[in-house]
Structure 1
């Protein structure tokens, strides 16, 4: 009997060692009141409740202005965020912030760098038309003690070289920071479709979570442009994971709608990682 109990205890310890993390990336469309029925004032409660419903443990946002960050911060008290505005390193301009559930995760390190030739400088890079940033953090699961890095970015929508160099810069930064070889996840609106060289580069260095998920669900694309009458086939939003440390249990593109409208011009991507 003692041997059986010991064996059961060992099995329980082994099975409870590996925690699952529910992660999301979401371009929430910057706040403005010039989009008619798609303006932020019409969307803010809807998109907040959508995130609350899915309850990600951690999620990266793109295009978020400080008013949107503050609204999420107020409406979702279980979450804190890391990140700064891209225009001045404080509150001006769009964030690529990372929100995390403080009941489950603790942030150990965090910072933001700019996607340009000198990442500590606040400026545009290469042929980009806007300054772009990447926010990152090292997180620890409070229950299991497992640690992982999360990088979240929004690539330029015009500069071809900027997108190519941004992909290289972020991967080099990952290698520079990840001296303990923890699992890494990269999320973001990369403004690139899967066949492009930069996505192929990242797919070689890391793994597109969708391609290795045990279960994949939802539309092929992620960009809907608030156009409810057309299929969503353009994929711009990604979750990449390092080749070690993560098992991708599920990958979903969430196409929730209400009254023939989407909550953002991008669909969120959610993964369950183990």
Structure 2
């Protein structure tokens, strides 16, 4: 399994450093995008309550980010010329009570009986994001969760996907309020910055999805311009688009010519798992709605290096042009159900393995 050998196995010992072969070090980054399904009081057929799904969701997040949370920095990275591998988790459909559970779990803290508490930030993971209904704790979050020992938070915003993006509001024909969460993160070891963003587009309104893409791209371009240093500011956008690749939101992203859909240019030999990201809770019955609607986009396009077409080898950091910021090494769609038959969510988690070239 490619991402095991590239990330996890190497991380047990010492992550490879490219600083000895090129002047621009390569920072290993794993991006996860997961719509965890909100904690509803009216579950669908075959949907288990959050209390049963949460331990499975947490287990998957912990498994996919082990060795990537900064806890091994002191033990492994004693040389300042090396840089720790990292993970950034982007979630959708997260209610406040779920965010409290997830952050307590990721931070290895005991469960809280007070679900109204402020979500814990640290000692391992912190989050950016607000509830979409009031800009505080009401409604669904689309949080970005990052390891505090690896990244320094420089800037963050919540943008409402509507004609009034600076305040809680519903846009166009949307059935629900929708948001974009954006963060500028800086590697403490190198000073390299990355623009992380996540969103969840509307499932009802096609006009909303189409116009939301315009708002998202305008926001990313503005922040990229404001926070880029002498090096380019690499961007990723992860989330649930509620749009198949032949529909308006996806096509709007493509037409912008600003970002790449990671799945499209990764060789099939470097993909793992399924293609479908939305399954529903009854896959045998929900066939019309199933498809690839959860994406990881990389940009700006001129900073993304296309990997070898044969897919047999990883692109060497020494071979990339000077304009390159991203090297994409692998892509996977994880299972959302196992032998016990309990679905973690009606979506599958999407994982991108990347190298960020400083």
For 2:98, the equivalent position in structure 1 comes to 68
Q: Would you say the 8 A contact 1:28–1:64 is kept in 2?
A: yes
- Which runs of structure 1 show a deviation greater than 3 angstroms over 4 or more consecutive aligned residues? 228-233
Structure 1 unmatched runs, 5+: 1-8
Q: How many Å apart are 1:45 and its aligned residue? A: 1.0
For 1:221, the equivalent position in structure 2 comes to 276
Please list the CA deviations of residues 119-140 of structure 1 after superposition, one character each: whole Å capped at 9, or x if unmatched.
Answer: 0121100111111000100011
1:223-242 → structure 2 map (5 Å cutoff): 223-229=278-284, 233-242=290-299
1:43-192 → structure 2 map (5 Å cutoff): 43-55=53-65, 57-77=87-107, 78-179=124-225, 180=228, 181-192=232-243
Q: Would you say the 8 A contact 2:18–2:26 is kept in 1?
A: no
CA gap of 1:37–1:104, structure 2 versus 1, over 3 A, is same
Please list the CA deviations of residues 226-274 of structure 1 after superposition, one character each: whole Å capped at 9, or x if unmatched.
Answer: 2255789511101000011211111101114222332111001000111
* Distance of 1:10 and 1:129 partners within structure 2: 48
Q: How many Å apart are 1:144 and its aligned residue? A: 2.9
Q: How many Å apart are 1:76 and its aligned residue? A: 1.2
Q: How many Å apart are 1:37 and its aligned residue? A: 5.2
1:12 partner SS: coil
Structure 2 unmatched runs, 5+: 1-16, 69-86, 108-123, 304-324
* Distance of 1:219 and 1:168 partners within structure 2: 29
Q: Would you say the 8 A contact 1:228–1:260 is kept in 2?
A: no
For 2:342, the equivalent position in structure 1 comes to 261
Q: 39, 55, 58: which is aligned to 1:31?
A: 39
2:326 partner SS: coil
Deviates more, 1:72-81 or 1:35-44: 35-44
* Distance of 2:32 and 2:351 partners within structure 1: 4
Q: How many Å apart are 1:186 and its aligned residue? A: 0.4
Q: How many Å apart are 1:211 and its aligned residue? A: 1.3
* Distance of 2:352 and 2:274 partners within structure 1: 14
Question: How many residues of Structure 1 are paired with residues of Structure 2 in the alignment?
Answer: 266
Q: How many Å apart are 1:216 and its aligned residue? A: 1.4
Deviates more, 1:135-144 or 1:109-118: 135-144
